[in-house]
Chain A
Amino acid sequence: MGFRAYASRRITNTIIILLVTITLQFFIFRVMPGNPIGHFITPNLPLEARQALVRMWGLDRPLHEQFLTYLYNLFSGKLGISFVSQRYVSDEIMERLPNTILLMGSATILTIALGINLGVSAGSRRGSKRDVASVTFGLLTEGLPVFFLGLLLLLTFAYYLPIATGGLINFPVAGTVSRPPPTSLLNYLLDVLWHLTLPMITLVTTGFGGYALIVRNLMIDVLTQDYILTARAKGLDSRSILYRHGLRSVLPPITTMIGLSLSGIVGGAVITETIFSWHGIGRYLYEAILQSDYPVMQGTFFLLSLVTILANLVVDLIYGLMDPRIRY
């Protein structure tokens, strides 16, 4: 099977998976316990008002009609109207997506870079102090609860240290920018970076350990291969052996990991976004689940599914290009 046939088969599979996912997403939320109107049960909103809301949201219509409306909303690009805000879900997502991409994108890049470097470094010196330290540190940070580290950093660097140092060390308590933000562009960008620091450190600290441990194990395995011995025998320097011969061989599984983490870049991080009051997709989705806001849940999960499925497709295609032996 040539690459073209392989690619077209993968694309067809992807479309089928996407359609199945879309269908499941509609029905799963409807069989889940909870009722969107349940969150409007308040004496300030009597029964007749709540019934009017149900009619307004279209939840009184037959399920097949609701499903068709859902499909129309998905393919029209608006992704429906949120029950809670009455705004188009696509607008609300677009409002939050840049923040999430900024936080998750920068954190993911740093996590991967740090994890791979540490993994390669530890794997190349198996049993050394560096290896032991990397494994211990990696395990420790990987197991550290995000909420604990996040709160610790928040209270230390945004509350206790600013008071103790008279504002010399002073990180923000909340948000993506100061409230109100600086007016000049440069100051604005610096302000965003200042706000990004603590949540990013939280995510990188709790994330890089996993990458480091996997890459270390892969590297240990690869470095015992014959072709590495050959490279050494040829007199290549250790850096070339590690990165050009060793790391290159473990790239496919690492590419898979990176590909799968792409959906996280879009999906956000619920706990970190909440602790640092970060206006992103993760918190948006979490609130939607709490409030049974079906259109938001469907729209956001659709986006996540789309990114995950497309990332998988891209990874598969890259696999095909990276390793000509791969033809499923």
Chain B
Amino acid sequence: MLSRFPLCFFVALLLLQTLHSPTGHTERAVASNFSVNGPRLDEILFVFHATPEAAVAAIRKGDIDILSDIFRPSDVRAISEDPNLNITFSQQTHYCYVAFNTRNPPLDDKQLREAIAHLVPRQEIANQLFDGITVTPMLYETSPAFGKWHNPDVKVYPFGPSSARQVLSSAGYSWSQDGKILRPDGKPVGKITFLSPTQEEAPTSYEIAKLVVEEMKRIGFEAYQEGVAFDSLLTRVMTERRFDMYFLCVSNLGRFPRWLYDYYHSNLDLPDGENTPGVRDPELDQLLYKFRFESETEDEAKTAIWKAQEKIADLTARTPVYSRYEIEAFRKGWTGMIQHKGIGYFTSGAFWTYLNLHKSGTTGGGTVKVDVGGRVRTLNPLYGTGAYEQKMISLIYDSLLAADPETGDPLPYLAESWTIKDTQIGGSKGQKITFNLVHNASWQDGEPFTSNDVKFTIEYCRKNKIPLFLPILERVLEVSSPNPYTVEVTVNGTSLFNLIDIGGTIIIPEHIWKDVTDWRTFQPDRELHPTKPGLTKMVGTGPYILSEEKPGEYWRLKSNPDYFRRYSETRQEAERPQQQTSLYSNLIAVVATATVTSAAGYMILRRRRTKHQS
């Protein structure tokens, strides 16, 4: 009979656990170190500065509160010494690399490339050219900034001329009497040209190429540097493939290493494709394809991309040199900033910061002035690709899902939950993703947000073949809205990125965009709203409303008073029932446990008594 006691206890615990467990992703986000409700600011004033000198002077003088993309060591030092400012360093998904043309001799030989990879003086570059402050030497193409997607166990090529010599010797290379490297067949390796931008155009890149060429010459390579205009470099590398080696940087690689597909899949070894080194490896192709299009689970995707990284490191078609930190400064007295992995605190993509940011010691309010250091030429949400354009657009428009700042995992946003069901489309596999939308979201002009808007957005982008969304939405086969708060999207393939891509697409209002005849020239921020005075046609569901702009000068975003995730004291009150629910849950659980335990105890005692009596 005693065996029933643990069973009752287990049932009680189960009951307790059930009542206490998170019921949705929202609670999971709340449980983290940031709030999903906002904004806490009254407004954001984005202010343009054309040069770093002006931007640094502005923040030190007190004209602005936040400055991103600081890259000059002298500025970092000056800001660090300023008692009114804080400075942050975040590893970002950026890297600079040396690429090899693997199509032609002598760089078609992997060992030769490996040897040269050992001749990149990464630490010296970081110390000499960046004062050891603004960049970190990098041995991995997929840097640790990618979190769980970064494979730390790949082959690396640290700087070491002796290692380079060893690699060459073991591959059969030898040295002539005058110190030149000879191929295994005894012939000279030949001339290798390192293409770089000109000294006037990009002095750092030029110096890096120079340092590598010097190291190559030192061990016997016949290496030369050729400085060409940046445009010519791009044409020679991207279109004509007329190069031996070149140096280039790439930033904003995204949260997932999907760019590896573009960089190394043989399908992209064509004019203007990113596979500039000309890698053609069927095994790697398979892994990259699996990662990008066929992985149904995160584990599958991770396994594929980790293996792909090993293969890529082994091929040495590119060798990483350094990765730049995202260095940002903010005035002391602000709090609530969230570090977004691979992005930083305030720069484009740091969505949660602008929801949580507020003055220390207050619950909210106030204006934060943020530097705009790049172009803002259009705020058309279907066309603006500039980092600062994207930053403003993402604060005005929402998407169905948001991204966890730490892991990049999807979080509910306009969609409060979703389900994914595998389906058969013709002979191939597909997915039916059902998004359940929030009921309380509305457009900034007061119109309700419904599933028709989502359906319209997807269909509008597909119909107009909008370049930004083309690769994402061409996988969509069908979209339907069975009721105002449900959207069903049928997609080709079973990739886990289907959800992330479709969920990440910003949603535009049907009632504004249905009358737009030419989406390309439509500038919603410059056309007045037909019915709401004080508003433009730049109407989203997002936390901020574009209230004023003077192009080339400033953009004023005020907080959306009707935001569906509005942060306010009242809202906090409104949220308490959720917390109270959890208190109630605990209470109920305790009562339930006590009841069940008492009942069980009573039954046991009664039976014992009965047994004893009998």
Contacts and interface: CB of A to CB of B under 8 A. Distances in A.
12 contacts: A33-B231, A33-B232, A35-B234, A35-B238, A38-B235, A41-B238, A47-B274, A87-B521, A95-B552, A155-B57, A173-B63, A175-B47
A149 to B, nearest CB: 13
B54 A43 contact: no
Contact of B470 (A43, A49, A179): A49
Given A43-B274, A84-B377, A277-B51, A175 B553 contact: yes
B60 interface: yes
Contact of B553 (A32, A40, A88, A176): A176
B285 interface: no
Interface in B358-398: 369, 375, 377-378, 380, 383, 385
Contact of B45 (A49, A95, A180, A275): A180
B523 interface: yes
A287 B235 contact: no
A96 interface: yes
Given A87-B523, A176-B553, A277-B51, A38 B375 contact: no
B49 A174 contact: yes
B53 A56 contact: no
A224 interface: no
Contacts of A184: none
A52 B521 contact: no
Contacts of B378: 84-87
Given A35-B231, A173-B54, A173-B63, A86 B521 contact: yes
Contacts of A155: 53, 57
Nearest to B250: A43
A86 B384 CA distance: 9
B54 A174 contact: yes
Contacts of A180: 45, 548, 550, 554, 556
Nearest to B523: A87
A259 B60 CA distance: 43
B274 A283 contact: no
A48 B521 CA distance: 21
A279 B372 CA distance: 14
Nearest to A39: B234
B185 to A, nearest CB: 38
Contacts of B47: 174-175, 179
A151 interface: yes
Nearest to B267: A47
A93 interface: no
Chain A, interface size: which category? Answer: 35 or more
B48 interface: yes
B235 to A, nearest CB: 6
Contacts of B470: 48-49, 52
- Give the 9 A-B residue pairs with the shortest CB-CB distance, closest first: A34-B231, A279-B552, A43-B259, A85-B377, A179-B554, A52-B467, A277-B50, A33-B232, A38-B234
Given A81-B521, A177-B550, A283 B50 contact: yes
Contacts of B63: 173
Contacts of B468: 45, 49
B235 A33 contact: yes
Interface string A71-86: 0000000000110111
Interface string B50-73: 110110011011010000000000
A179 B48 CA distance: 9
A47 B273 contact: yes
Chain B, interface size: which category? Answer: 35 or more
Contacts of B550: 177, 179-181
Given A159-B60, A159-B61, A42 B48 contact: no
Interface string A149-192: 00100110011001100000000011111011100000000000
Interface in B261-314: 262-263, 268, 270, 272-274
Contacts of B548: 180
B385 A45 contact: yes
B376 to A, nearest CB: 9
Nearest to B275: A47
Contacts of B58: 173-174
A47 B551 contact: no
B274 A275 contact: no
B294 to A, nearest CB: 17
Interface string B22-60: 000000000000000000000001011111011001101
Contact of A159 (B57, B375, B465, B471): B57
A82 to B, nearest CB: 7
A12 interface: no
A38 B57 CA distance: 33
B271 to A, nearest CB: 10
